[in-house]
Amino acid sequence: MTDSSRNDGEQPLRGAVLGLGMMGRHHARILQTDPRVDFVGAVDPGGDRFRALRDPGLAFDSIDALLSSAGSFDFAVIAIPTEEHVAAVERLAGEGVSVLVEKPLAATSDESRAIINAVDRAGVVAAVGHVERYNPALLALRERLGQLGRLVLISTERTGPFPDRIKDVGVVKDLATHDLDLIRWLGGAPVEVVAAQTAHRMGRPHEDLVLVTGRLASDVPFACNVDWLTPTKSRRTRVLGERGMLVADTLTGDLTFHENADVPIEWDTTQHMRGVSEGNSVRFALQRREPLLVELESFWKYLQGEGEAPIVSLEEGLETVLTAEAVLSSARSHESVHLAGAAR
Ligand SMILES: NC(=O)c1ccc[n+]([C@@H]2O[C@H](COP(=O)([O-])OP(=O)(O)OC[C@H]3O[C@@H](n4cnc5c(N)ncnc54)[C@H](O)[C@@H]3O)[C@@H](O)[C@H]2O)c1
């Protein structure tokens, strides 16, 4: 990244959106209403089908058309099908435009590396939109990890019906990449090994259910239960420690602490055989800001040179795609797959 790619924070940032689908229309809403941004337009060859744009004259059908209307601008949010991320980043970075790329970074690790190379060559700023990291419940959970003592398990559940629009990837790359990113972020260590089972129930070429178990390099085990086959939607992250359990519900933005009871017992010598018992539970009052806005704010601050603004780096995005590939490889081979560490 070069200093010239950073805006000094005095002028609104000039920003655009690629893709006006499910995700892009929300980015477009924020970019058009936030005073910190001068919205220069959106690209979608399918047009503005959700009527996300206030000014229909700012809808373009190609990056070239956007560039010839807007001239140079500071950043673009890439919210197009995952398989198309690499070509869009290469084109925009080549024009000196910084990018916030929706998760997952790319469809494959090779494409993720191509994105990293394009960004490095161009010296622009880039980050991955793993929006769960900005959910108030998960931010508060991470801050409170210390109250759990030593970690015992991290476990996630992300289930619900199939969103018909996903065509290019299966549930591992589309949904479980949220979980694989969160587990590393919460556990504070890279994934060392995974073992996975998948199912294909809907007749699509890609899997629609995955169960992952694994272990971080810090020796903490984890589990993810992710599918598109469950009639009710669930988004739960559970971190178990030696003093209790924190549970985040990212649909409602709730965080609850279930404490192990500190109940003195008379026969001390058998205490170690009795395990934990149920203590008090506390549901925390949290300030519930929109995660997508918090994510964009972090990216803008980073772009303006506030190095401490929490963004998800492209290297972390690559790490998540590599872990997803290891999960798919394990499901195919019915073997545990070890991630290569430094060789990544
Ligand atoms: N962070 C999250 O929670 C989250 C949630 C959903 C999707 N996503 C990610 O966002 C991205 C988009 O997903 P979606 O659900 O919005 O998909 P979508 O199919 O609803 O929308 C994609 C849009 O991109 C347009 N498009 C296709 N190719 C294009 C191109 N080359 N240039 C410009 N526009 C193009 C399509 O016409 C479509 O309108 C994917 O990478 C997906 O993984 C992230």
**Strand duo 13-18 + 75-78: pairing:** parallel
Query: pLDDT for 228-261, tens place per residue?
Result: 999 999 999 999 999 999 999 999 999 999 999 8
Q: Around Cβ 69, how many Cβ atoms within 10 Å?
A: 13
3-class SS string, 238-298: EEEECCEEEEEECCCCEEEEEEECCCCCCCHHHHHHHCCCEEEEEECCCCCCCHHHHHHHH
- The CATH number of domain 3-124 is 3.40.50.720: yes
The whole-model pTM stands at 0.93
Q: Which helix (H) or strand (E) holds 318?
A: helix 314-333
- pLDDT at position 279, please? 87
Q: Which positions of the chain have pLDDT values less than 70?
A: 1-9, 166-167, 263-274, 341-344
Residues with a CB atom less than 6 Å from ligand 1: 18-24, 43-46, 79-82, 84, 88, 102-103, 129, 131, 165, 174
Domain residue extents for the chain: 3-124, 135-288+321-343
- pLDDT at position 306, please? 83
* Closest ligand 1 atom, residue 80 Cα: 24
- pLDDT at position 159, please? 97
Ligand 1 atom 38 nearest Cα: 21
* Closest ligand 1 atom, residue 84 Cα: 31
Out of 20, 22, 63, 66, give the residue to mutate to test ligand 1, the one with the largest number of ligand atoms within 8 Å of its CB: 22
Say which CATH class 135-288+321-343 falls into: alpha beta
* Closest ligand 1 atom, residue 292 Cα: 1
Q: Around Cβ 197, how many Cβ atoms within 10 Å?
A: 14
Q: ∠ CA 191-310-184 to the nearest 5 degrees? A: 10
- pLDDT at position 265, please? 55
